C-alpha cells in the first residue's frame, strides 16, 4: 500500500511526527515555567503590559508562535479550572507542564503516545482513589472549620493581610444563596445570585454582605416619590409603562384639530389603564426593566407609589429571589401572589456622587449583594478577584464537604502510593506510570523553591516521611518552608479542587500527546513589487558615525559621476552625513527603482539651505529636489 500524498495549498504549512510532540511539550513547559513562581503564599506576581498599557497574557509567549495553539490550550486549562471550582488555577498548569516534561523521554525512546496516555489514565484513577482514602469529612454548619479552610485556600492572595474579612464575606454570601435540593445536596449559584458592588471610598473593613439586593438606581421622580419604605409591597415588571410605538413607520393624516386631541386621549387612556391594573394590587414599589413615561410616573406619584425603571435583567432576577416577587410580562396578568412581601426595607442612599437603591432585611433571601468599600478602584478590583476565589472555595465545601491536606502533602502521598503500585503494573506501561508518579512531586517542589529553602534536602526529607504511603498530613508550610503537620497548621484544600486539578492536568497532557500532525494556515507571500511599499528605514547616529565619510561637500560631490543615478548606498548615507541639518533625522527609502532622501524635521530652520548644497545639486543632473521657503525638503531622481 502506497503512502498517501497530501496536496496542500501554498498558504498551508504542515508539521508531523515527533517534531510536533517536541514542539508542543516545549511550549507547554515554557508556560508552566513562567507560571511556576506564582504558586504558594510566597509567590511572585506578574505584571504584563502591552504597548498601549493594557494587561494581556498573550504577548508574553509570542516567541512560540509556530505552536501557538499549544500554549493557548494550556491557558484554557486554567480558565476551565477557574469556572469549575474557582481555585487551583496555578497548580493545574504546573502539573500539566510536568506531566508533559516527563513524557518527553518516552517520546525520544519511540514509545507510542497511546501507551503513555493509557499509563497516565491508570495513574489518574489510582490518584483519585488515594484522594478518597485520605479525604476527611467536615460539618458544614461548623463555621470555624469552614472559615479555616477558606482562609487557607486564599492565604496566598493579596487580601490575606486583612485577616478573616474576605473569608467571612464569602461564607456569609454563599450560605445565604444556598438552596437545598434534598438528599443532603445543596445548590449554590454564585454567578447568578451574588452580585459584588464596588463603591470607592471608605475603608475595606466597611464591606458587608447585605441581606437583600443593592442596585445603582434612584427613583424616577426623586422629589415626589418616597425614598424610604418599611415592609414594601414590590411588583416587578418586564414591560414598558409607556405608549407602545408602532413596529413600522406609521403616518397618520389628521384633517381636523379634534382628531389630534382624540389621539392624545387614546394614549393617555392606554397608560392610565396600565397603571390602574398595577395600582389595584396596592404596591409600594414598582420596578420595571423597560421605560416608564412621564404620564405613568404622574399616576404612580398620585397613588404614592415609588418606581424605578430600566433595571438590568440580572438585577431584577436577584430582587425577585430576595423579595419573593414574580417578574410579570404584562400588567393585565398580575396576580396577588406575584407581589413580593419578603423585603423588610426599601431605601435610597447617596454614596459618594451616586444614588443606590437598597432592598434589604429580607426574610429568607436567596440572593444577596456584597458591598465592597475601599480606597481605590485598583484595590477594589483585586479584592473582588480574591472574593470570587473565596466564594468558590466556600461553594465547593457546601456542595462536597470533604477536605484533603494542603502544602503538597496530598501530591506526595499520591506520588508515594503510585510508586508502590508501579511494581505491579505489567508491560511497557510501567515506566510512564512511574514517571506520572514522579510528576506529582512538582507541586511540593515548586512550593519549596518559592519559599527559598534547600529544595533537595526538603524533598528528600518529605519523600522519606511519605515512603510507605504514611504520614499523609505531612507537607510544606508555604510561609516558612518548614516541614509541618498540615492538620495542626490548618492548611487544607477542598477535595473538589484537588480532584479537578488532577483530572484536568492529566487529560490535557494526554490530549497534547495524542497530536502528531499540525496543518496551519500561514500568510501568503506577496509577489515582488506588489502591495504597499516597504516602510522607510530610519538611519541612526551610530550607523552614520560608523561610516568613515568626510562631511565636506567636495568629498561628497567627487564621489559621484554627474550623469549616473546614485544608488541607495552611495547616495543616502553620504548625503545624510554631508548635509546633516543639525538635529534633523534623515529617512532613506527605496521604492521600485526610485531613490529618495527625505528629511524628517520639527523646525524648518534645521533644513539645509539651497545655497549650501547648490554645488552638489549642479553636478547631479539626474537629481531633482523639492524646496520650501528656500530650503531643501526632499531629494529624488
Task: Render pLDDT for 600-623 as a digit per residue (tens, 0 to 9).
Answer: 444 444 445 544 454 444 444 444
Edge-to-edge strand ranges of the sheet holding 285-288: 306-308, 285-288, 234-237, 327-328
Residue 382's pLDDT is what? Answer: 84
pLDDT at 342 > cutoff 50: yes
**Residue 545: in which H helix or E strand, if any?**
helix 541-546
Do 329 and 238 reside in the same domain of the chain? yes
Do 108 and 178 reside in the same domain of the chain? no
Higher pLDDT among residues 218 and 5, named by residue: 218
> End-to-end CA distance of the chain, in Å?
64
> What span, in angstroms and rounded, lies between the C-alpha atoms of 373 and 384?
10
> What span, in angstroms and rounded, lies between the C-alpha atoms of 92 and 83?
13
> What span, in angstroms and rounded, lies between the C-alpha atoms of 512 and 504?
12
> What span, in angstroms and rounded, lies between the C-alpha atoms of 252 and 275?
27
Query: At which residue does the C-alpha cell 395600582 appear?
Result: 279
> What is the DSSP secondary structure assignment for residue 241, as one 8-state letter?
B
What CATH number has the domain bearing residue 218? 3.50.7.10
Average pLDDT in the 77-86 region? 79
Do 448 and 495 reside in the same domain of the chain? yes
Average pLDDT in the 179-195 region? 79
Average pLDDT in the 406-434 region? 91
Most confident of 384-388, 431-435, 473-477: 431-435
Answer whether residue 625 is part of any domain: no
436: alpha, beta or left? (left if phi > 0; alpha if psi -120 to 50): alpha
Please state the domain count of the chain. 3
Cα–Cα nearest to 22, from 75, 68, 67: 67
> What span, in angstroms and rounded, lies between the C-alpha atoms of 566 and 623?
9
Backbone angles phi, psi at 465, to 5 degrees: -70, -30
The 10s digit of each residue's pLDDT in 352-365 is 888 999 999 898 88
Average pLDDT in the 28-45 region? 82
pLDDT at 348 > cutoff 90: yes
> Which domain does 461 fall in, by range?
12-138+405-517
The residue among 303, 338, 361 that closes a domain is: 361
pLDDT at 430 > cutoff 80: yes
pLDDT at 39 > cutoff 90: no
Beta-strand relationship, 285-288 and 234-237:
parallel
Max CA-CA distance within the chain? 103
Note whether 143 and 171 are within 8 A (CB).
yes
The pLDDT-based confidence of 458 (bands split at 50, 70, 90) is very high
Cα–Cα nearest to 95, from 446, 416, 433, 418: 446
Do 17 and 105 reside in the same domain of the chain? yes
> What is the DSSP secondary structure assignment for residue 536, as one 8-state letter?
P
Q: Is the sign of the CA dihedral 400, 403, 404, 408 positive or negative?
A: positive
The pLDDT-based confidence of 42 (bands split at 50, 70, 90) is confident
Cβ neighbours of residue 146 under 8 Å, at least 6 residues apart? 138, 140, 171, 394, 397
pLDDT at 432 > cutoff 80: yes
Answer whether residue 109 is part of any domain: yes
Answer whether residue 275 is part of any domain: yes
The residue among 493, 517, 541 that closes a domain is: 517
Q: Is the sign of the CA dihedral 516, 517, 523, 529 positive or negative?
A: positive
Do 129 and 222 reside in the same domain of the chain? no
Query: At which residue does the C-alpha cell 494542603 appear?
Result: 406
Average pLDDT in the 182-210 region? 85
pLDDT at 537 > cutoff 50: no
Nine-digit cell string for 190: 454564585
For 7, the 3-state DSSP assignment is coil
- Write out the E strands in 93-201: 136-137, 179-182, 185-187, 194-200
Cα–Cα nearest to 277, from 330, 331, 200: 331
The pLDDT-based confidence of 375 (bands split at 50, 70, 90) is confident
Cβ neighbours of residue 350 under 8 Å, at least 6 residues apart? 356
Cβ neighbours of residue 284 under 8 Å, at least 6 residues apart? 226, 229, 232, 233, 234, 305, 306, 346
The 10s digit of each residue's pLDDT in 55-64 is 443 333 333 3
pLDDT at 126 > cutoff 90: yes
What CATH number has the domain bearing residue 390? 3.30.260.10
> What is the three-state SS of 296-344?
HHHHHHHCCCEEECCCCHHHHHHHHHHHCCCEECCHHHCCHHHCECCCC
Answer whether residue 105 is part of any domain: yes
For 406, the 3-state DSSP assignment is coil
> What span, in angstroms and rounded, lies between the C-alpha atoms of 164 and 443?
26
Query: At which residue does the C-alpha cell 487551583 appear?
Result: 88
Residue 369's pLDDT is what? Answer: 92
Edge-to-edge strand ranges of the sheet holding 354-360: 213-215, 354-360, 345-351, 228-230
> What span, in angstroms and rounded, lies between the C-alpha atoms of 559 and 441?
71
Do 466 and 382 reside in the same domain of the chain? no
The residue among 361, 392, 413 that closes a domain is: 361
pLDDT at 78 > cutoff 90: no
**Angle (nearest 5°) at CA 163 between 159 and 165:** 75
Do 226 and 339 reside in the same domain of the chain? yes
Residue 158 burial by Cβ neighbours in a 10 Å radius (0-12, 13-18, 19+):
middle
Residue 29's pLDDT is what? Answer: 85
Note whether 330 and 240 are within 8 A (CB).
no
pLDDT at 376 > cutoff 90: no
Mean pLDDT (the chain, rounded): 77
Cα–Cα nearest to 398, from 143, 129, 225: 143
pLDDT at 557 > cutoff 50: no
Answer whether residue 446 is part of any domain: yes
The 10s digit of each residue's pLDDT in 482-507 is 898 888 888 888 888 899 999 999 99
- Write out the E strands in 362-511: 368-374, 402-405, 474-476, 483-485, 492-494
Answer whether residue 548 is part of any domain: no
Backbone angles phi, psi at 521, to 5 degrees: -80, 130
The 10s digit of each residue's pLDDT in 263-299 is 888 888 999 999 999 999 999 999 999 999 999 999 9
Average pLDDT in the 430-434 region? 93
Cβ neighbours of residue 141 under 8 Å, at least 6 residues apart? none
Do 108 and 187 reside in the same domain of the chain? no
For the chain, percent of residues with pLDDT exceeding 70: 73
Do 389 and 409 reside in the same domain of the chain? no
Note whether 400 and 136 are within 8 A (CB).
no
Do 38 and 116 reside in the same domain of the chain? yes
pLDDT at 565 > cutoff 50: no
> What span, in angstroms and rounded, lies between the C-alpha atoms of 628 and 367?
72
Answer whether residue 509 is part of any domain: yes
Q: Taking the complete model, does pTM exceed 0.85, yes or no?
A: no
Nine-digit cell string for 500: 479537578
Cα–Cα nearest to 37, from 452, 474, 405, 415: 452
Q: Is the sign of the CA dihedral 233, 239, 240, 241 positive or negative?
A: negative
- Give the CA distances from residue 102 to residues 461, 544, 612, in Å, rounded to whole numbers and listed in that order: 23, 52, 71
What CATH number has the domain bearing residue 490? 1.10.560.10
Residue 186's pLDDT is what? Answer: 73
DSSP codes joined into one string, 153-191: HSTTSGGGGGTTHHHHHHHHHHHHH-EEEETTEEE--HH
> What span, in angstroms and rounded, lies between the C-alpha atoms of 319 and 313?
10
Do 24 and 122 reside in the same domain of the chain? yes
Note whether 205 and 406 are within 8 A (CB).
no
Query: At which residue does the C-alpha cell 568629498 appear?
Result: 555
Beta-strand relationship, 228-230 and 306-308:
unpaired
Do 169 and 218 reside in the same domain of the chain? no
> What span, in angstroms and rounded, lies between the C-alpha atoms of 174 and 150?
12
Answer whether residue 552 is part of any domain: no
The 10s digit of each residue's pLDDT in 198-257 is 988 888 888 999 989 999 999 999 888 999 999 999 999 999 888 877 667 777 788 888
Amino acid at each position: 500500500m502506497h503512502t498517501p500524498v497530501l496536496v496542500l495549498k501554498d498558504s498551508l504549512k504542515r508539521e508531523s511526527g515527533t517534531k510536533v510532540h517536541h514542539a508542543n511539550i516545549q511550549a507547554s513547559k515554557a508556560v508552566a515555567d513562567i507560571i511556576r513562581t506564582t504558586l504558594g503564599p510566597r509567590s511572585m506576581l506578574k505584571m504584563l503590559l502591552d504597548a498601549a498599557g493594557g494587561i494581556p497574557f498573550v504577548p508574553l509567549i509570542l516567541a512560540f508562535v509556530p505552536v501557538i495553539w499549544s500554549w493557548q490550550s494550556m491557558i484554557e486549562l486554567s480558565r476551565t479550572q477557574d469556572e469549575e471550582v474557582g481555585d487551583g488555577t496555578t497548580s493545574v498548569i504546573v502539573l500539566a507542564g510536568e506531566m508533559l516534561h516527563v513524557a518527553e523521554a518516552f517520546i525520544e525512546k519511540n514509545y507510542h503516545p497511546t501507551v503513555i496516555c493509557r499509563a497516565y489514565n491508570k495513574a489518574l484513577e489510582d490518584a483519585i482513589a488515594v484522594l478518597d482514602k485520605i479525604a476527611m469529612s467536615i460539618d458544614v454548619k461548623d463555621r470555624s472549620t469552614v472559615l479555616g479552610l477558606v482562609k487557607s485556600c486564599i492565604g496566598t492572595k493579596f487580601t490575606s493581610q486583612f485577616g478573616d474579612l474576605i473569608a467571612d464575606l464569602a461564607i456569609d454570601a454563599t450560605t445565604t444563596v444556598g438552596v437545598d435540593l434534598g438528599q443532603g445536596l445543596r445548590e449554590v449559584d454564585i454567578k447568578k445570585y451574588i452580585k459584588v458592588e464596588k463603591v470607592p471610598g471608605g475603608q475595606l473593613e466597611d464591606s458587608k454582605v447585605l441581606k437583600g439586593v443593592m442596585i445603582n438606581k434612584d427613583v424616577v421622580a426623586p422629589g415626589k416619590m418616597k425614598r424610604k419604605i418599611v415592609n414594601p409591597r414590590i411588583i416587578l415588571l418586564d414591560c414598558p409603562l409607556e405608549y407602545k410605538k408602532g413596529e413600522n413607520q406609521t403616518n397618520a393624516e389628521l384633517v381636523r384639530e379634534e382628531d389630534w386631541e382624540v389621539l392624545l386621549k387614546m394614549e393617555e387612556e392606554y397608560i392610565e389603564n396600565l397603571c390602574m391594573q398595577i395600582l389595584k394590587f396596592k404596591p409600594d414599589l414598582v420596578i420595571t426593566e423597560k421605560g416608564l413615561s412621564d404620564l405613568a410616573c404622574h399616576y404612580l406619584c398620585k397613588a404614592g407609589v415609588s418606581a424605578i425603571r430600566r433595571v438590568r435583567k440580572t438585577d431584577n432576577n436577584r430582587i425577585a429571589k430576595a423579595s419573593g416577587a414574580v417578574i410579570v410580562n404584562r400588567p393585565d396578568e398580575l396576580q396577588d401572589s406575584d407581589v413580593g412581601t419578603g423585603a423588610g426595607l426599601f431605601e435610597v442612599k447617596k454614596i459618594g456622587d451616586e444614588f443606590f437603591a437598597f432592598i434589604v432585611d429580607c426574610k429568607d433571601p436567596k440572593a444577596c449583594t456584597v458591598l465592597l468599600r475601599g480606597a481605590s478602584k485598583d484595590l477594589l478590583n483585586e479584592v473582588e478577584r480574591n472574593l470570587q476565589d473565596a466564594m468558590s472555595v466556600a461553594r465547593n465545601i457546601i456542595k462536597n464537604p470533604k477536605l484533603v491536606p494542603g502544602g503538597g502533602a496530598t501530591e506526595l502521598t499520591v506520588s508515594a502510593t503510585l510508586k508502590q503500585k508501579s511494581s505491579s503494573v505489567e508491560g511497557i506501561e510501567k515506566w510512564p506510570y512511574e514517571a506520572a508518579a514522579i510528576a506529582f512531586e512538582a507541586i511540593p517542589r515548586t512550593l519549596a523553591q518559592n519559599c527559598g529553602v534547600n529544595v533537595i534536602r526538603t524533598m528528600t526529607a518529605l519523600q522519606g516521611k511519605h515512603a510507605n504511603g504514611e504520614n499523609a498530613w505531612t507537607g510544606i508550610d508555604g510561609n516558612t518552608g518548614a516541614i509541618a503537620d498540615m492538620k495542626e497548621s490548618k492548611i487544607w484544600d477542598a477535595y473538589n479542587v484537588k480532584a479537578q486539578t488532577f483530572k484536568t492536568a492529566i487529560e490535557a497532557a494526554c490530549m497534547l500527546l495524542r497530536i502528531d500532525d499540525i496543518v496551519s494556515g500561514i500568510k501568503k507571500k506577496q509577489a515582488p513589487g506588489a502591495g504597499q511599499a516597504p516602510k522607510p528605514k530610519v538611519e541612526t547616529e551610530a550607523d552614520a558615525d560608523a561610516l568613515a565619510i568626510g562631511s565636506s561637500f567636495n568629498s561628497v560631490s567627487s564621489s559621484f559621476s554627474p550623469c549616473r543615478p546614485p544608488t541607495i548606498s552611495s547616495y543616502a548615507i553620504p548625503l545624510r552625513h554631508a548635509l546633516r541639518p543639525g538635529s534633523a533625522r534623515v529617512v532613506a527609502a527605496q521604492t521600485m527603482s526610485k531613490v529618495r532622501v527625505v528629511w524628517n524635521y520639527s523646525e524648518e530652520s534645521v533644513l539645509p539651505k539651497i545655497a549650501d548644497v547648490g554645488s552638489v545639486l549642479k553636478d547631479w543632473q539626474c537629481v531633482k529636489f523639492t524646496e520650501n521657503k528656500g530650503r531643501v525638503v526632499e531629494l529624488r531622481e
